[in-house]
Amino acid sequence: MVSDAADYNTKMRIGMWIRKLLCLVPIQIARAENNGMVALKDGLQIPSHVSYVDSISLANLMRFGFYDVVLNSWRGKIRVISSMGKQSSGKSYLLNHLSGSHLDVSGGRCTDGVWMTITTSEGDGCLYVLLDFEGLGSFERSEQEDMLLSVLNAALSNLTIFNKKDFHLDKDTESAFSCFHSGINLLEQDKKLFKGLFYIAIKDVDESDVLDLIQEFHEKISPICSKSQENFILKMYDGKFEIAVMAPYNRAEYYHESLRELAQTVYETDSCYDNGSIFLKDLKLIIAQIAVKDWSSVDSKRVAIIVDIVRRNLMCAINMGCLSPTNSDEEVQELVSLDTQVEVPDMPLVVGESMLINFRDSGLTLVPSKESSTSSSIRDLLAQIRLKLEAVVPRKGSNIDSWHSMLERFLSAVAERRLNRVQRWISSNTMDFCGNDEVES
């Protein structure tokens, strides 16, 4: 018992260490270009000969290297923290010192597009996704490109840190806010998107100026929020904003006080994502929707993605009790609820009164593929099933008749279990969309 627990702890520690190692290098996930957004695959542009017809097929093409694996396997909560603001306002520097990430920092124009990295917190068992955005208002970018980046940011972030280096609410900040404003109606809000906190971090502030600056910002931002229902803080951040001042970054207070205060806000931030896979799907879908300028509801796309996955995997689920492998040497991918990643149980079979036979349903080919010889596959399958039964109930001259009827029942149980699992897999993935015509069909 003790050694099992020790074994488990060692495996957990090794798992965490590997995750940390894999996430040391941030990955670029999107770029802004030609008044649009470019979706990337493993940090590179998708080659022009690879075609896609809509946002869903583009989202299916996108990959984020090891981050896909880490996010897909994370079953706990996720918090998404992002950094925005003018060029060289210390956005990447702040995220690095807040989370221990390794985003590029430089005196000149540095971050291009959107970069992602991940850290975990042992304190609250949450996975932190950090999104680092390029500087707003640079000569290389058009207003439309800045606007699309800000829509992506606001849609996904649980906390957006808006970095402001020069004290006062100046023309640059006003034009950044008006750029955010111009994107407010592009993507529809829903229960998960546009729910973050807009955290204005005013940098390089001396203690003597703190109160004056906070008051100045409140006086200028409050009218923006109360002017009408159509303002970016209300529409993109659910009306939530906070103003914080930060000590100059070359003073100890920056690290011991300002960053600590921010870390506390981060810990208290609401998370909208129950696991990594839900977040990853939304991240890819939203980048893809912005890239192809598809402004239809994200929720309807989520439904379409689930329907598409269920449809693509249905035959394999029926034939083999698992999802279709994406490459030939991939191990069996279990039937799971796509939102929670919880597996549809693969139960042992009950024979006779209470005898259990451990015979995995996942990966068991009950319907041979068209390419394989049907008669030999069925013969192999029958032999396999017969052996399983014989191992538990040996076939003897004395019980030959009852043994054969038991084999018949066992065969039906194998088939019934498959149908049952596939039906439960479909229901677990579609129960939230009951009444939706596309799902019903």
Ligand X SMILES: Nc1nc2c(ncn2[C@@H]2O[C@H](COP(=O)(O)OP(=O)(O)OP(=O)(O)O)[C@@H](O)[C@H]2O)c(=O)[nH]1
Which residues contact Mg ion by CB under 5 A?
A: 91-92, 110-111
Nearest residue by C-beta to ligand X? 90
93 binds, among Mg ion, ligand X, none (CB under 5 to 8 A by kind): ligand X
**Tokens 């000149």 appear where?**
108
Task: Count CB-CB contacts under 10 A for residue 224.
Answer: 17
Nearer to ligand X by Cβ, of 79 and 91: the residue is 91
Which CB atom, from 129 or from 422, has the smaller least distance to ligand X?
129
361 interacts with, out of Mg ion, ligand X, none, CB within 5 to 8 A per kind: none
End-to-end CA distance of the chain: 50
Euclidean distance between CA atoms 35 and 147, whole angstroms? 10
CB of 268 to Mg ion, least distance (A): 25
Q: Which does 82 bind (CB under 5 to 8 A by kind): ligand X, Mg ion, none?
A: none
- CA 113 to mean position of chain CA atoms: 19
Which of Mg ion, ligand X, none binds 316 (CB below 5-8 Å, type-dependent)? none
The CB-of-191 to ligand X minimum distance in angstroms stands at 32
- In the complex with ligand X, the residue whose CB is nearer, 165 or 302, is 165
111/173 with CB nearer Mg ion = 111
Structure token digits, residue 147: 């606007």
Given the complex with ligand X, which of 87 and 275 has the nearer CB atom? 87
Residues at the interface with ligand X (CB under 6 A)? 87-93, 105-107, 109-111, 134-135, 165, 203-204, 249
Question: What is the spatial distance between Cα 429 and Cα 114, in angstroms, rounded to a whole number?
Answer: 31
Name the burial class of residue 410, with classes exposed (0-12), middle (13-18) and buried (19+) by CB atoms within 10 angstroms of its CB: buried
Task: Indicate the SS3 state at residue 248.
Answer: coil
**Beta carbon of residue 111, minimum distance to Mg ion (angstroms, whole number):** 3
From the list ligand X, Mg ion, none, partner contacted by residue 61 (C-beta under 5 to 8 A by kind): none
To Mg ion, the closest distance from the beta carbon of 424 in angstroms equals 47
Tell me the closest approach of the beta carbon of residue 249 to ligand X, in angstroms: 4
**Closer of 198 and 359 to ligand X (Cβ):** 198
Q: Which does 107 bind (CB under 5 to 8 A by kind): ligand X, Mg ion, none?
A: ligand X
Q: How far is the CB of 337 from Mg ion (least distance, A)?
A: 38
Q: 40-46 long-range CB contacts below 8 Å, 24 or more apart?
A: 40/113
Residue 97's binding partner out of Mg ion, ligand X, none, with CB under 5 to 8 Å set by partner kind:
none
- Judged by beta carbon, residue 88 or residue 271, the one nearer ligand X is 88
Rounded least distance, CB 161 to ligand X, Å: 11
Distance CA 118, CA 81 (A): 10
Whole-angstrom distance, CA of residue 197 vs CA of residue 185? 18
Q: Which residues pair with 403 in a beta bridge?
A: none
CA distance 319 to 420: 13
Tokens matching residue 218: 């409140």
Q: Cβ of residue 92: shortest distance to Mg ion, in angstroms?
A: 3
If the CB atoms of residues 92 and 275 are measured against Mg ion, the closer one turns out to be 92
CA dihedral 373, 379, 383, 386 (to 10 degrees): 130
**Measured between alpha carbons, how far is 5 from 46 in angstroms, rounded to an integer?**
45
**90 contact, one of Mg ion, ligand X, none, CB 5-8 Å limit per kind:** ligand X
88 binds, among ligand X, Mg ion, none (CB under 5 to 8 A by kind): ligand X
109 binds, among Mg ion, ligand X, none (CB under 5 to 8 A by kind): ligand X
Q: Which is nearer to ligand X, 19 or 165 (CB)?
A: 165
C-beta of 11: minimal distance to ligand X in Å?
37
Strands 197-202 and 241-245: parallel
- Estimate the crossing angle of helix 66-73 against helix 2-22, to 10 degrees: 140
CB of 245 to ligand X, least distance (A): 11
How far is Cα of residue 264 from the mean position of the Cα atoms in its chain?
A: 24
Per the structure block, which two tokens stand in for 233?
Answer: 């803080």
**CA–CA distance, 175 with 202 (Å, rounded to integer):** 17
What CA–CA distance (Å, rounded) separates 154 from 236?
6
Measured from the CB atom, the residue of 92 and 231 that comes closer to ligand X is: 92
